[in-house]
Structure 1
């Protein structure tokens, strides 16, 4: 007998603008997922799944997160409706790329960066 695995929302990613905004709000407060989870009163997994598109985001949850991070729901809506820009995290994105590079390529990147 073959049984099908129940499909869960956390099995697949579906990145939304809402998820990106929540991640920006947390990072702008310089909070790790663990510290944010403790402040908000949810698990670290919930924060992770919310920010990485593995969880449906309900308005009540969004309100709980943004208010505990020191933002208002209006701030969230302003980001969502492009009334405020969500800065791109160029530095953190570059660091993540650098972490994946082999040592010989890092030497090349260092040489390039030192030329600026």
Structure 2
């Protein structure tokens, strides 16, 4: 199992918004004893934080972030950890904002 400590990822696609290829949302992950946490910023997000758990290759988190346009977004997600052919990790995430029944999918790849 790949430990997520200080691994960095960038968003490459999302069904919730268009991803800015010049400044995609960037995530940093930490992990200890099945607990996962981290932060993110970029694209539409000023600052974001998440915390959750890991069970095998599945990460389940709750997140909150401030939007560059004003306001905030809060929700939950579940990510599947995959390994790219070059050994980098990829996260395929299904997420939902609180108060919205729409399910979204995003993909993030590890930054080498």
Q: Give the structure-2-normalised TM-score.
A: 0.25
Q: Could you say which structure has the larger radius of gyration? A: 1
**Bigger strand share:** 2
TM-score, with normalisation over the residues of structure 1? 0.25
Structure 1 or 2: larger helix share?
A: 1
